[in-house]
Homo-oligomer: A and B are copies of this chain.
Amino acid sequence: MGGDHGPSVAVEAVLASIKRHADLKVLLVGERKELLSLLPPDYPSDRITLVDAPDYVRMDDKPSFALRHRTQSSMAISLQIVREARAQACVSAGNTGALMALGRSILKTPSGIDRPAIIRRIPSTRGRCYVLDLGANVDCTAEHLFQFAILGSLMVEVVEQKKYPRVALVNVGKEDIKGSEQVRLASHMLEASPALNYVGYIEGDEIFKDVADVVVCDGFVGNVALKTAEGVIAMLSGLIGDAFKRSLYTRILGFLARPVLRRFQNLLDPSTHNGAIFVGLNGIVVKSHGAATAKGFARAIDQGVRSARLGLPERINARLDDLYL
């Protein structure tokens, strides 16, 4: 029921996703009447099950309010379904703060982890890296940052089958004298940890330079950095288009170069990278961008499918016990 475009986006994405994934079954949780009106009359009821939810979380609900008063919301019921193992993953485009609070309350965090974090793979020309937290926790202690590093490291181990992923901490400079107190303290904790392959501080521009597999920061910094990157990409895409529109000659060039430019622009299309994961919960929760289209929402469903196939939280939790022993 969440997101900027309401449930129509989710319904359209679900219809596309069950075609992509032959073994996928979906429980659509929300206002039954509205969902029915959005589904075609001949929708495959053996693959899509409607679950009625009398309430839904509003985009401006405070997390504490959602926790207390949205217990019958589509979000809370979805998470409850995951907890009862009636579904392997929950995908939502709703209120991030509420999803964090309800996820933590209903699914719980594994022992040793205080708070879940939002993690996403960031596309780059060389390699790939996972950044967390992207907005679930705006105020973080050094201990939280340390736990994010462990979660991110385990996530990359499981998802990318990469041993000893390189972990870096975002700071405003390389020197140990720089940064806030939490960041410096977290760095010392990471240095002292034998379980992690900590490579030190990195600055914002290095996220795209394949110097780390896991990039750790607090949710405020991560969210602003990611959105700034999105803003630059959107601006540059437009700028390239305009550059080729300046004269008849450049228009012809632009027309001829269309396949080249399109490949470039597809790579940057945010909808192809949609779907961030709440890591550090006893269950899979995928957050779709609120502004995602049906195509983007389907990518978030893909993330849920992939994570379920990998058995992501179980495998992270099993390794977590190793690390904390």
Contacts and interface: CB of A to CB of B under 8 A. Distances in A.
A238 B203 contact: no
A179 to B, nearest CB: 6
Interface stretch (A13-21, A227-235, A307-315): A227-235
Contact of A243 (B177, B230, B263): B263
Contact of A260 (B207, B235, B253): B253
Interface string A177-221: 111110000000000000000000001111111000000010111
Nearest to A257: B253
A135 interface: yes
Copies in the complex: 2
Nearest to A139: B180
A256 interface: yes
A314 to B, nearest CB: 30
A132 to B, nearest CB: 14
Interface in A115-166: 124-125, 135, 138-139
B229 A228 contact: yes
A226 interface: yes
A199 to B, nearest CB: 17
A267 interface: yes
A231 B257 contact: no
Nearest to A244: B260
A98 to B, nearest CB: 10
A113 interface: no
A245 B236 CA distance: 20
A221 B225 CA distance: 8
Given A125-B239, A253-B253, A260-B244, A204 B230 contact: yes
**Listed residue (A97, A125, A205, A242) with the most chain B CB atoms within 10 angstroms of its CB:** A205
A228 B207 contact: yes
B204 A224 contact: yes
A43 interface: no
24 contacts: A59-B175, A63-B177, A125-B238, A135-B172, A138-B180, A172-B220, A172-B224, A203-B224, A203-B227, A204-B228, A204-B231, A205-B231, A208-B232, A208-B234, A209-B231, A217-B224, A220-B221, A225-B228, A229-B231, A232-B232, A233-B236, A240-B240, A253-B253, A257-B257
